[in-house]
Amino acid sequence: MHLCRRQNARKEEKEMYEMAKKTRQEDAGAGRSSNRADKPMSEEQARSELLSSTQRLRANIDPEKHHIGDQLAEDDRLEVRRQTNEQDKHLDVISDALSDLQRIGEAMGSEVKYQDAIIERNQEHVSVADSQLRNLSNQAVKDHRLNYKRR
């Protein structure tokens, strides 16, 4: 199962590299770039370039001015907002479930500590009872020997 996912992810990654390479070549052909398209690029270099371009795009977005879907038509923007609100509701449900799980975990931890204390007390009582039983057993053996010798 995981192997298939990894293979798919690897395949998608290679496709992205090929697309980036093709775009660089097209840009070079149009005179928009340097000779980089002519040079072979390793996967690591392509990954680095892809990530740096993504980071540059993110850096150019002002979070105060940019909202998801601002460039879309009104209907599309409303759909994006509706989906975002729906996702927020689902995230709230997940958050509530996680809070419940946290409380359950804390209650279980308290119960384990309580039962551990009971087990320790029981072990002490068993140890005392064992010691007393050994003493009584030894005493019974001695008494039996004395009675046997008297006959």
Considering the entire predicted model, what is its pTM?
A: 0.40
Per residue in 105-138, is it b (16+ CB within 10 Å) or e — as a string? eeeeeeeeeeeeeeeeeeeeeeeeeeeeeeeeee
Confidence band of 150 (pLDDT split at 50, 70, 90): confident
69: left (phi over 0), alpha (psi -120 to 50) or beta: left
Model pLDDT for residues 64-98, shown as the tens digit of each residue: 555 555 666 778 878 888 898 999 999 999 999 99
